[in-house]
Structure 1
Amino acid sequence: MEKRWIRKPAPDAEQVRHLADALRVNEAIISLLCQRNVCTFEDARAYFRPSLEQLPDPLLMRDMDRAVNRLLKALHLGERVLVFGDYDVDGTTSVALVYSYLRQFFGAERIDYYIPDRYKEGYGISEAGIDFAHEFGYQLIIALDCGVKAVDKIAYANERGIDFIICDHHLPGAELPAAVAVLDPKRQDCPYPFKELSGCGVGFKLMQAFTQQQGLPEEELYELLDLVAVSIAADIVPIYGENRTLAYHGLRLINDRQRPQRPGLDALRELAGLQTAELNISSLVFGFAPRINAAGRMGDAKRSVAMLLADTTAEAVATAGVVDKTNQERRGFDTSITKEALEMIEQDDLLRSARTTVLFKQDWHKGVVGIVASRCLDKYYRPTIILTESNGKATGSARSVVGFDVHQAIEECAELLDQYGGHMYAAGLTLPVENVPAFREKFERIVAGRILPEQLIPPVEIDYTIQLSDITPSFYRLLSQMEPFGPGNPNPVFASERVYAAPDSARIVGNSHLKIALTQDGHHTVDAIGFGLGEYYEQIRRGQAFSVCYTVEINEYRGAKNLQLRLKDIRWE
């Protein structure tokens, strides 16, 4: 697929010079820092050494005082507390964090957790969950990663004498639920300075405020930042500001093999084949998140929480094995449904030429439609919605392209929908089955009238153009200190121009991957791999010069480590 190369503007030369004088490092590194608004020595110190002491005061969050007071009241009055969370990674890590931390204060007999059944109860706070709390005498529910739009459900709970503390990070609706406290930094009236916390991050802030109000040291709470790091990675929230600090320290916990590891995450590391690797955000996204998510997608998400809470290796391994088997089942559904969805597009002239993809099939597995939407987006790169039937309704997930707000486009079809919610790039929706054709038509009309032609071409943002000779072990060491990488602090993408394939180095590996050694001067060569770029093999062999854009990584093979470029695209001179 053709890609747009977008070269980021060069930072201010004076800023680069001042920071270069202060840090005395490679100019390319300095430019990367300035592009990320790291422009002074003090900024750089905070960036390279994020400190937990710099975290914003949790009491700056609207309703935090009310939330802590209600929690303390429950503690002192001997009330029972139910920790309620969504069934995805963010929700299950939130539940594991809050439940495990509060259990030491409330005791196991006064606190429990609840994850709604994806298929019977759907997303968010459910009447079934409230009925469970009422039946078993829970007076307070802490809702995590959900609830900010649950106006009717909170009213239902209030009628039954059950209080709610909501910890959410999604955009609120026009009316807030009548809960005791609604903690959400995205509330318009919330002065909290960092708006992009994960749901688990909001739960962490509640525990931080609770700890401070009790006059307790925070070190024990910081031991739970491994869970926050997993939530940040899996929920694809921006990794700058407070999130970067939390992820940085969470990853340090996960990678510190000198300290006891969380048995559940250790079991996941082994199942993902990452026993000896230094884990980063990408490792958590691709190694941990699918397995944790699979339990909620395919069955009971409580299994994921049980795995994260496991006290012993034996218990964790047993639970992780079940979760991993569930993930294998999920992958089978994912592969077959993706194949079916792509065939539906390829065999329909209207679908192929449309500006959107909206597909509906009654028997597709509800737990994988979001993944299938992402796969179709990778292939056709346009706003995509995949729907299936559940409880007599069409329900599914949306994914979008860079720069296009799919949530807003869905909102403009609200009269055809029963419910919807989400973000700019990912959303969920439910509608009557008979409304699917009308929705497909209106959604296509809205998107086609608004989306720019260039938004339908995948972009590659290039940070800096360098020579291959700049890529040295010391250069890579400096780059690696910029981690954790992710949205808001992406792994730097470099370009190099007029490069050639070293003689006889180009070959195809796997089905369609390009393995090659690149040179610019005939002397300095760097190994590179381009996943899915095998189509360029014949043209490269002809000896013509070309440009490449790439990230820099370490490749480990049979115990040997070497620098390698991961190619993102190739252009011919």
Structure 2
Amino acid sequence: MDYRWKHKDKANSELVEHLSNEINVNPTLANVLVNRGIADFQQAKDFFRPDLDKLHDPYLMKDMNVAVQRLHQAIEKNEKILVYGDYDVDGTTSVALFYGFIQSFYSNVAFYIPDRYKEGYGISEKGVRFAAENNFSLVVSLDCGIKALDKIDLANELGVDFIICDHHTPGETLPRAIAVLDPKRKDCSYPFKELSGCGVGFKLIQAFSQFTGRNQNNLYAFLDLLVISIASDIVPISGENRILAYFGLERLNNNPRPGIKALILKGKLEKDINITDIVFKIGPRINASGRLEHAKASVELLISKDLDEAVRRAELVEDVNAARKNFDENITREALEMIETRELEGEFKSTVLFKEDWHKGVIGIVASRCIEKYYRPTIILTESNNKATGSARSVYDFNIYEAIEECSDLLEQFGGHKYAAGLTLSVANVPAFQAKFESVVSNRVSEIHMKPILEIDDELILDQINYRFYNILKQMTPFGPGNPEPVFCANQVFAENVRVLKDKHLRFDIIQDGQSTKPVCIGFGFADYFDLLNSKMRFNIAFEIRENTFRNTSSLQLYVKDIKFD
């Protein structure tokens, strides 16, 4: 992909010098940290040494006290409690976490996941009626419900109380539930706004544990589920999420629950599992059931208490994931062919594609694949229950939710956030929506949105790349949105010992005048650069610094992000 390099501004020199001296790091690392809001010793300590005691008081969240009182009342009176969650990774981990916690001491509890194809996203009428018909007097909804006004009205009519735990942007009116927990509520003063849906559920059981005097360590045993939701839902790994992700990864690597252990085995993951491993190896396997069949299978896997049982369930999920990959590849090929045909008609700022027989479960993935080839806001639509339903994905710094909102007169339902959204409309409205969305995007989009940006944290000379430098970088993990892995550049270098690996990748050394260090570089997908690199032409290179271990010998390597020749 052809990137536009964006060099981050140099941080305030006095702050950089002060931090460099206070925590004994070189000015380049201090500059990286200051640019991430870490400017003094205490902030650096909080960043490098996350502490569960620094989690925010859950009672700062609007309606938390009411929610805890109602949950406690239900348990005291032996009411039937239904844990209701969405069918994606955030939803299924939310249900596994909340159900697993309650079920550990209270038996009159069950869980419910809506069918993606029969019920659609969020709280469904079928789900509400299921609760009423089966005498569930309290439903705790997780990762959904913030816009389910009519469904909550129905629940109230049927005598079913709802506690809503959501993290999506609310509408102008909130549902009339017993309690609505959502840090994005305009009237909510909770200091951290970017929790995942699972994170909001975690805050409820944290508050409940405080109220009932339960041991907090019982709560922290569920952090392996929470970090999967944080990684898979692409929420910022900063603030409270950073603390939760840090200890979640620790739990996931050292003592995961049987269901997650089975997924680790299936993904052939070794030690030091990170956020990227979750996003590409663990999350898709959990997601697969909800995409192609029923997400209940993923919850049952995640709440398994026996490893042998979990492995059997993971094998079923693995089969579904293999089918998901096949759908993904075929539909992506069809979508790209449609875009190529459409390109002949003229220049477009957006992509909106519709085909009635595409599998609803993979259209979000396909939207992301299309952006990799045609970098612009993208919506992929298919037909489901006689409606056009779609998934939207965005590009750097373009708010696709707001663009969709401008087309709301053509929609029946929509929801989401800046970079991802879902929508439903009449099939007859698809052509009008395509035209209007293109118009909206054309008016909103700028040059900055039309070419992928590679942010460069700082320039290095090659002799700066050593284990002291890397060991401090390593302590900045977990990396992810809000705390991306630092990308550096080195200028005016040339290559030696260039080799092609597996016909697609390159391995080469780089040399810089006046520097003794000659790092090994690995360029995945860079085989087309072989002749240029072999020519000894000078170039600038952007990279991440990683450690490679082979036959018990470790060394630093540069993982190439981009190369620009003079």
Taking structure 1 as the reference length, the TM-score comes to: 0.97
1:264 to 253, 259, 262: 259
Q: Is the 8 A contact 2:64 2:207 kept in 1?
A: yes
Q: Where does 1:232-271 land on structure 2 (aligned, <5 Å)?
A: 232-256=230-254, 260-271=255-266
TM-superposed deviation, 1:18:
1.1
Q: Decide which moves more: 157-166 or 444-453.
A: 444-453
1:322 aligns with 2:320: no
1:111 aligns with 2:109: yes
1:533 to 501, 523, 526: 526
TM-superposed deviation, 1:511:
4.3
In the other structure, the counterpart of 1:415 is: 409
TM-superposed deviation, 1:569:
0.8
In the other structure, the counterpart of 2:56 is: 56
* Residue identity opposite 1:18 in structure 2: H
In the other structure, the counterpart of 2:562 is: 569
Q: Distance in 2 between matches of 1:357 and 1:557?
A: 44
1:489 aligns with 2:483: yes
Q: Deviations over 1:386-431 (max 9, x none)?
A: 1111111111111111111111111111111111111111111111
Q: Is the 8 A contact 1:382 1:401 kept in 2?
A: yes
Identity over the aligned pairs, expressed in percent?
53
Q: Distance in 1 between matches of 2:331 and 2:385?
A: 20
> Unaligned stretches of 5+ in structure 2?
none
Q: Deviations over 1:227-248 (max 9, x none)?
A: 1111000000001000000000
Q: Distance in 2 between matches of 1:117 and 1:551?
A: 41
Q: Decide which moves more: 527-536 or 364-373.
A: 527-536
Q: Where does 1:110-509 land on structure 2 (aligned, <5 Å)?
A: 110-256=108-254, 260-274=255-269, 276-350=270-344, 353-502=347-496, 505-509=497-501
Q: Is the 8 A contact 1:384 1:398 kept in 2?
A: yes
Q: Is the 8 A contact 1:552 1:566 kept in 2?
A: yes
SS in 1 for 2:337: helix
Q: Distance in 2 between matches of 1:287 and 1:47?
A: 27
Q: Distance in 2 between matches of 1:269 and 1:70?
A: 37
TM-superposed deviation, 1:347:
2.2
Q: Is the 8 A contact 1:345 1:352 kept in 2?
A: no
Q: Is the 8 A contact 1:62 1:183 kept in 2?
A: yes
SS in 2 for 1:563: strand
TM-superposed deviation, 1:217:
2.1
TM-superposed deviation, 1:351:
5.9
SS in 2 for 1:353: coil
TM-superposed deviation, 1:562:
2.4
* Residue identity opposite 2:250 in structure 1: R
TM-superposed deviation, 1:57:
0.5
TM-superposed deviation, 1:31:
1.1
Q: Distance in 2 between matches of 1:241 and 1:50?
A: 10
Q: Distance in 2 between matches of 1:318 and 1:29?
A: 46
Q: Distance in 2 between matches of 1:330 and 1:124?
A: 22
In the other structure, the counterpart of 2:73 is: 73
Q: Decide which moves more: 290-299 or 562-571.
A: 562-571
Q: Distance in 1 between matches of 2:60 and 2:419?
A: 28
> Unaligned stretches of 5+ in structure 1?
none
Q: Decide which moves more: 430-439 or 342-351.
A: 342-351
TM-superposed deviation, 1:479:
0.5
Q: Distance in 2 between matches of 1:568 and 1:353?
A: 28
SS in 2 for 1:131: helix
Q: Is the 8 A contact 1:346 1:352 kept in 2?
A: no
Q: Deviations over 1:12-55 (max 9, x none)?
A: 11111111111112222111111111111011111011111111
Change (3 A) 1:191 1:225: same
Q: Is the 8 A contact 2:224 2:256 kept in 1?
A: no
TM-superposed deviation, 1:564:
1.5
SS in 1 for 2:546: strand
SS in 2 for 1:506: strand
Q: Deviations over 1:516-550 (max 9, x none)?
A: 22221474211112222222221111111100011
Q: Deviations over 1:135-158 (max 9, x none)?
A: 211100000000000000000111
Q: Distance in 1 between matches of 2:298 and 2:344?
A: 42
* Residue identity opposite 2:308 in structure 1: A
Q: Distance in 2 between matches of 1:266 and 1:142?
A: 27
Q: Deviations over 1:92-142 (max 9, x none)?
A: 1100111011113322xx101010000000000011111211121110000
SS in 2 for 1:279: coil
SS in 1 for 2:163: strand
* Residue identity opposite 1:297 in structure 2: R
Q: Is the 8 A contact 2:463 2:516 kept in 1?
A: no
TM-superposed deviation, 1:350:
4.6
Q: Deviations over 1:316-336 (max 9, x none)?
A: 100111111111100000001
Q: Is the 8 A contact 1:351 1:357 kept in 2?
A: no
SS in 1 for 2:368: helix
SS in 1 for 2:519: strand
* Residue identity opposite 1:180 in structure 2: I
* Residue identity opposite 2:498 in structure 1: A
Q: Is the 8 A contact 2:83 2:111 kept in 1?
A: yes
In the other structure, the counterpart of 1:549 is: 542
Q: Is the 8 A contact 1:345 1:351 kept in 2?
A: no
Change (3 A) 1:197 1:545: same
Q: Is the 8 A contact 1:401 1:425 kept in 2?
A: yes
Taking structure 2 as the reference length, the TM-score comes to: 0.98
TM-superposed deviation, 1:206:
0.1
Q: Where does 1:515-530 land on structure 2 (aligned, <5 Å)?
A: 515-521=507-513, 523-530=516-523
Q: Distance in 2 between matches of 1:552 and 1:351?
A: 43
* Residue identity opposite 2:447 in structure 1: P
Q: Is the 8 A contact 2:149 2:175 kept in 1?
A: yes
Q: Decide which moves more: 218-227 or 516-525.
A: 516-525
Q: Decide which moves more: 45-54 or 525-534.
A: 525-534
Change (3 A) 1:375 1:558: farther
TM-superposed deviation, 1:472:
1.2
Q: Deviations over 1:235-284 (max 9, x none)?
A: 0000100000000011111122xxx431111111111111x331111111
Q: Distance in 1 between matches of 2:236 and 2:345?
A: 33
TM-superposed deviation, 1:287:
1.2
In the other structure, the counterpart of 2:39 is: 39
RMSD (CA atoms): 1.2
The number of residue pairs the alignment matches comes to 565
